[in-house]
Amino acid sequence: MKSVDLVVIGAGPAGLMCAWKAASLSRSRVLVLEKNSKPGKKLLVAGSGRCNLTNSAPLETFFRSYGDSGRFVRPCLQNFPPSDLREFFESRGLPLEKLNGGKMFPRSGKSSDVLRVLLSACSAENAEIALSERVVSIVRAPGGFIVSTDKAEYGASCVAITTGGSSWPVTGSTGDGFALAAALGHSIVPPRPALAPVFPARYDCASCAGYALEGVHASLWKNGRKAGERRGDALFTHDGLSGPLILDFSRDFAPGDEIRLDLGSLSAHDRPQGESGPRCMDSLLADLCARFPKRTFANAVSSGLALSEALVKVVFSRAGADPSRTGAVLSKAERKAIASVLAEFSFTIERIGDFSVAMATAGGVDVSEANPKTMESRIVPGLHFAGEVLDVDGDTGGFNLQFAFSSGVLAAESAARILASATS
């Protein structure tokens, strides 16, 4: 049985960063075990192959971008913030650039360059990577752990589980780490898709496919009660809703929930600050009737509220209104019906995209059982976690990869301290 100081399970962004940092700090024997035949398989397809590494937003924005896990991620992001991540890559010859929404990408536009830098950093510190070795068990043993794969057994003083979640299983991300952690006594919050599109029941907007609503306000309703609200960009597809707003909000969705889009919220049309809803929308429509009495009202709504003609047709259909009528002859009842649909353009969720299309995983190792200042297990000394295996999922825009890198560094620093104290 081969003995090493630290076994890292999973050669994704969290695992490779953890391996590099641990080896650089302690000159310890670090072994990364990867079940795929190549490392970083999921990283290579991140950001459509361009790899949105992080975001230029201030740290306070980061803390608000992980749902209920904001407090847990704070120490690791403060310890290894986005500025440190940028320095890591740029000092190794990979400049980054900021694109829309503060998203940071390698200037080359290639995820393969990100992986190349990570592998080169690991190699420079003599961190070993064993490919095509699937870990089947981790057992506590005197002085550490015995890690068994489908090929060999390894003794290790410390272990870091960095296997990722369950999203994009075609890349090998199949939730293996959840079973390994559970076998060691950890609680697993049931994994579910995150950053996923949604598919409404009786979807009537296929004609709007490809049309984006920029800066639209959305509210989530559960059993008739408002359960949350967000503002962002939404996208109509041929069979559902997507775009950053929907993807970020999807962690809170469940079948049967209702999404309401305020189609007046993205308009440049004047309205009193903070006012919304059908009554405010009706006031806007009354103004449009007065301003454009000879236009078809559908045309007036399309231009006045900056909405596509295809979407306006759906609005009029839902309202039971005739789109060919002019503002001069439109009845008050018709106008109010149109206002109600525009202010609360609603969809009932039939299903959320599954792991095959989700960009991230919600759920995982319960963060209450991991120390946020070290990423070490509160249950099993010497066991660490990093990345998506934990119950942490961030918004779109580079927040998930930043957490993977930052938590990998923090886990490595903790393992290095444990190893140093054992030899002193």
Task: Place 275 in a pLDDT band, splitting at 50, 70 and 90.
Answer: low
E strand or H helix that includes residue 423: helix 399-423
**305 token code pair:** 């509220």
Task: Place 279 in a pLDDT band, splitting at 50, 70 and 90.
Answer: confident
Look at residues 325, 352, 379 and tell me which one is the last residue of a structural domain: 352
419 in the same domain as 336: no
Confidence check: pLDDT of 101 > 50: yes
Picking from 188, 169, 192, the residue whose alpha carbon sits closest to that of residue 179 is 188
77 in the same domain as 186: yes
Which residues are bridge partners to 268 per DSSP?
none
Confidence check: pLDDT of 273 > 90: no
296 in the same domain as 156: no
SS3 state at 258: strand
Cβ–Cβ under 8 Å, residues 389 and 181: yes
CA dihedral sign, ordered 370, 373, 375, 376: negative
How many other CB atoms are found less than 10 A from the CB of residue 336? Answer: 17
150 in the same domain as 70: yes
What is the Cα–Cα distance from 346 to 402, expressed in whole angstroms? 34
pTM > 0.85: yes or no: yes
56 in the same domain as 7: yes
Cβ–Cβ under 8 Å, residues 43 and 51: yes
**122 token code pair:** 């690991």
218 in the same domain as 166: no
Give the range of the structural domain holding residue 132, as residue numbers without chain letter.
Answer: 2-193+357-423
What is the Cα–Cα distance from 205 to 310, expressed in whole angstroms? 8
Question: Exposed (0-12), middle (13-18) or buried (19+): which is 138, by Cβ within 10 Å?
Answer: buried
179 in the same domain as 204: no
Rg from Cα positions in the chain: 25
Confidence check: pLDDT of 50 > 90: yes
What is the Cα–Cα distance from 279 to 283, expressed in whole angstroms? 6
Confidence check: pLDDT of 122 > 70: yes
Mean pLDDT of 78-89: 98
- Looking at the structure of the chain, the number of domains it has is 2
Q: How far is CA 130 from the centre of its chain?
A: 29
234 in the same domain as 138: no
CATH code, domain with 163: 3.50.50.60
SS3 state at 306: coil
215 in the same domain as 155: no
158 in the same domain as 34: yes
| Residues in contact with 318: Cβ distance below 8 Å, sequence separation at least 6, in sequence order | 204, 341, 345
Question: Exposed (0-12), middle (13-18) or buried (19+): which is 423, by Cβ within 10 Å?
Answer: exposed
Look at residues 302, 325, 352 and tell me which one is the last residue of a structural domain: 352
What is the Cα–Cα distance from 104 to 107, expressed in whole angstroms? 9
Picking from 169, 175, 87, the residue whose alpha carbon sits closest to that of residue 405 is 87
- Strand pairing of 153-161 and 188-194? unpaired
Task: Place 424 in a pLDDT band, splitting at 50, 70 and 90.
Answer: low
Look at residues 317, 352, 387 and tell me which one is the last residue of a structural domain: 352
What is the Cα–Cα distance from 380 to 109, expressed in whole angstroms? 40
| Residues in contact with 248: Cβ distance below 8 Å, sequence separation at least 6, in sequence order | 195, 230, 232, 395, 396
298 in the same domain as 153: no
What is the Cα–Cα distance from 16 to 424, expressed in whole angstroms? 27
Cβ–Cβ under 8 Å, residues 193 and 421: no
216 in the same domain as 93: no
Residue 329 Rama label (left phi>0; alpha psi -120 to 50; beta): alpha
Tens digit of pLDDT for each residue in 302-338? Answer: 988 989 999 999 999 999 999 998 988 888 899 999 9
Tens digit of pLDDT for each residue in 199-256? Answer: 999 999 999 999 999 999 999 999 999 999 999 999 999 999 999 999 999 999 999 9
| Residues in contact with 193: Cβ distance below 8 Å, sequence separation at least 6, in sequence order | 167, 250, 352, 353, 354, 355, 357, 358, 360, 361, 362
